[in-house]
Chains A and B, each alone.
Chain A
């Protein structure tokens, strides 16, 4: 019996070894952040953990930087700005929980959510609670265009525009004739794929060789890669996020399929380059336009490096813009009252890292658009 115990303990000790990894954890949750009259509480909801955390954390950082700047200047109309992070891992079911929690904690405004599916799930809850939500990254067309959510704004352009930008780039710059469109069956990826398909069919220059969804998290995508190869396509348009994109591009190269790969801003992230490694070279991705010589962007970038020691990640400029637009609107409105802030967002121009913006009647930022980027020696660079 004794030796059995020793073996068990040995097994557990071996199991414990795996703990010796990078065990960093975000410990900055502000426990006492509840709304009161002398504070303005901004909830920041999005993927702060899980495999899509690299899309959500830059937004949290942006919100913190803007809040820090404002608080140093005495806050908005004398009230301090408090950031309340809330994790949804980009999962719709967790997003509704996150939204309910933020509403019950009586936050005044929300920046988020990050993924379209999660945003769509959370919006009705905020709408009922009359809370303004501004997303830096949820690009699903219907979120603003169907007009159901007067409380929703975004600082990024939407899929209809993005899919069209991707398709037009493939046709006019890459001169492709047959395009295989692949998506991940999600709200975001399929939205991109469908608008790209529509743009290609309307353009009548290139034909759509195939239009198919793959199951996210699949063990292997070689069958669909063989099918792309068999279809004779000379370009792949992919709608979805980086985990699937990197698997597909790696398997395409393994099978000797070296055609251009054009994707969306769910792939325009350094995590994609990290996971796909040298197979990422040459991949095109559409992404929100960034004005690199914009003074506010330069300042935000420098602040981020100073505060967090790293370069900002995906959607940071949009998130910074969202935080600026939101706080500016509150300052102009003089309160956090729903109607007043919404009116201020629609009428007041504000200087942001994505340009001088205000929001149209549906909640989309006027002036935000997409550019195409390409991976060159391990970095995304603007394609001119």
Chain B
């Protein structure tokens, strides 16, 4: 039973990170039906920003929790700026182009950002300071849930709850839902669609930055390539849950995290990815729109 719980929590914290990144994929897809492949790189840039801020503040001797909070906030702003800029440069000019064009543009952006960080920063792995102190009250649970795991899980829950409230109850949230339902109609009733799309990119990117800083602090190292696998897994989570659906992204992230964790624990880590993608294939066979995606008739 203890082993089960250990695997359960390790899957939960991994799944929470996937979910945080997956939200960005799913929000963007929901609104402009674009798979933003540069999203994993935004996550990586968030982690790098966190590292730079943490390095500066550590040198100034700030308390570690304050550093964590400031690093996350700065990383959110910075990644948000990146998300905004990427959208303006790479996607906006292609908004009325055939759907393949922005997709290729997204892949190009992803490769560009990876290599840009590699050249501007370093190709080496960099150590990331542990920004989450071990709390005394977590000691009895240490064997299956560390403080940084707890932070990741709590932060994800808070962020997702806030996002849900934002989308349900604010004017901007309403405008987002309207744009997602029908962009042209939203435009006709006076929604500033460009503004909504920019906002979507900014929010999605800042959420990825939260994940970036937390997981980098948990793993203790980053390099320019970490966004690729994280992005790929988060994209899988978004598809699993139903791309375009926000609760779906969260559920998809958790299901993927648990599948990987239990497959490693009870079968073999050699087959971790096999089980994760087998699950994806099975779900897409039986529910083509994903777990919580809307089953819609295709217009032919």
Chain A interface (Cβ < 8 Å from any Cβ of B): 4, 7-8, 10-12, 14-15, 18-19, 21-23, 25, 49-51, 53-54, 185, 212-215, 217-220, 222-224, 226-227, 229-230, 242-243, 246-247, 250-251, 254-256, 271, 274-277, 279
Contact = CB atoms under 8 A, between A and B. Distances in A.
A226 to B, nearest CB: 4
Interface residues of B, number: 59
Given A222-B13, A243-B125, 19 more contacts: A8-B84, A15-B81, A18-B48, A18-B121, A49-B118, A49-B123, A212-B269, A218-B229, A223-B10, A223-B265, A226-B3, A226-B6, A226-B7, A226-B10, A226-B144, A229-B143, A250-B220, A255-B146, A277-B127
Given A23-B119, A226-B3, A255-B146, A219 B229 contact: yes
B272 A215 contact: yes
Interface centre among A18, A19, A22, A242, by most chain B C-beta atoms within 10 angstroms, is: A18
Given A21-B121, A222-B10, A15 B85 contact: yes
Nearest to B220: A250
Interface in B81-95: 81-82, 84-85, 88
B221 interface: yes
A223 to B, nearest CB: 4
Contact of B223 (A51, A185, A229, A251): A51
A21 B120 contact: yes
Contact of A255 (B49, B120, B143): B143
Interface centre among A8, A21, A54, A223, by most chain B C-beta atoms within 10 angstroms, is: A223
15 contacts: A10-B81, A15-B85, A21-B121, A50-B118, A51-B225, A53-B124, A217-B226, A218-B229, A219-B215, A223-B265, A226-B3, A242-B125, A246-B125, A250-B220, A275-B127
B122 interface: yes
B278 to A, nearest CB: 15
B98 to A, nearest CB: 25
A18 B7 contact: no
B45 interface: yes
Contacts of B14: 219-220, 222-223
A138 to B, nearest CB: 20
Interface of B: 3, 6-7, 10-11, 13-14, 17-18, 45, 48-49, 78, 81-82, 84-85, 88, 116-127, 142-144, 146, 148-149, 194, 215, 218-221, 223, 225-226, 228-230, 233, 260-262, 264-265, 268-270, 272-273
B119 to A, nearest CB: 7
A220 B258 CA distance: 12
A22 B82 CA distance: 20
B164 to A, nearest CB: 24
A11 B265 contact: no
A10 to B, nearest CB: 8
Contact of B82 (A8, A15, A53): A15
A23 B221 contact: no
B124 to A, nearest CB: 6
Given A11-B84, A219-B229, A226-B6, A246 B121 contact: no
A215 B276 CA distance: 13
B123 A53 contact: yes
A51 B265 contact: no
Contacts of B78: 14
Contacts of B123: 49-51, 53
Given A53-B123, A247-B220, A271-B125, A14 B272 contact: no
Contacts of A4: 194
B121 A226 contact: no
Contacts of B85: 8, 11-12, 14-15
